[in-house]
Amino acid sequence: MDCQERKKLKDKSRIVVKIGSSSLTHPETGKLNLLKIEKLIRVLSDLRGEGKDVVLVSSGAIAAGRLALGYEKRPDTLAQKQAFAAVGQARLMMVYQKIFSEYNQATAQVLLTKDTMVNDASRYNAQNTFEELLAMGVIPIVNENDTVSTSEIPYVDSFGDNDRLSAIVAALIGADLLILLSDIDGLYTDDPRRNPKAEFIRLVPEITEEFLDMGKETSGSSVGTGGMSAKLAAARIATDSGADMVIANGDHVDVIMDIMEGKEKGTLFLAHPNLDFDLMHYLNNEY
């Protein structure tokens, strides 16, 4: 069954790719890994060249900002975090736009807050903006607007993490595939960093309580925020809205093309469209 479902990924036409801070930075220094970013941009530009709609949800603003300002540690206060984000988001977009332009690919910055999504009018406007950008062949680059969101209160005034944000974006635009690039190969029965007997799960036909119990409130990175529980929460949103989702290791961004070619990479969560799906329920954490 896994092989058959993997082959169907070749035909996906609207793809959201999320990449985390740990996949964008050098583990030794926390500085942006420009070689990896260039490879990511080449892969996404190729997907766009195939005629697919592509959206990139990118972390890394806070990490880029604190390094630009000479801080080695993660921010201690919300104000400090927001200041780092303000500096880092501009720097991150400068890097993205410069390299994307070398491939003649237009990009756009889309910064979202939970308030934007909860409000009917602004959510409708955001949806229209995405549709227009994609129709123009633009690759939107999305991040949470950390400068104004109060992320000290997860899931209340903020999205909490970009795993969940990427799933919400996928639902908003009607994507049929969400790819989460992480610092782990996919879903395991337990944390493989702590339990060498943890078994890898290649296919999740439906997200049950058993799978949710496998999620851990941990992240293996000093720059990331989303652990496996965040990815499973994202999977629930994406699959309920009608999108397949793959969690894969972002060490080598070429894995995106492997996934699109139907190769057995990462953990595949199958879409099971929920006729009662209501994005507002997920935004308000009513699930």
Q: Could you report the per-residue pLDDT of 215-272, keeping only the tens digit for each? A: 654 444 444 434 788 889 899 999 999 999 999 999 999 999 999 999 999 999 999 8
Placement of tokens 């300002």 in the chain: 69
- Give the integer Cα–Cα distance in Å for 45 and 111: 21
User: For the chain, first and last CA: distance in Å?
Assistant: 29
Sheet holding 177-182, edge to edge: 107-112, 139-144, 53-58, 14-19, 177-182, 244-249, 267-269, 203-204
> Average pLDDT in the 117-124 region?
89
pLDDT score of 28: 84
- Give the integer Cα–Cα distance in Å for 99 and 284: 37
pLDDT score of 160: 59
Q: What is the pTM of this model?
A: 0.89
- Give the integer Cα–Cα distance in Å for 244 and 267: 11
> Average pLDDT in the 134-147 region?
91
pLDDT score of 1: 61
pLDDT digits (tens, 9 = 90+) for 18-57: 998 888 988 888 888 999 999 999 999 999 999 999 999 9
Contacts 24+ apart (CB under 8 A), 271-276: 271/176, 271/238, 271/239, 271/241, 271/242, 271/243, 271/244, 271/245, 272/205, 272/206, 272/239, 272/240, 273/240, 273/241, 273/242, 274/240, 274/241
Residue 213 vs residue 103, higher pLDDT: 103
- Give the integer Cα–Cα distance in Å for 50 and 10: 11
DSSP bridge partners of 144: 112
Domains in the chain and their CATH numbers? 2-283 (3.40.1160.10)
Question: Which parts of 72-119 fold into alpha helices (H)?
Answer: 78-102, 114-118
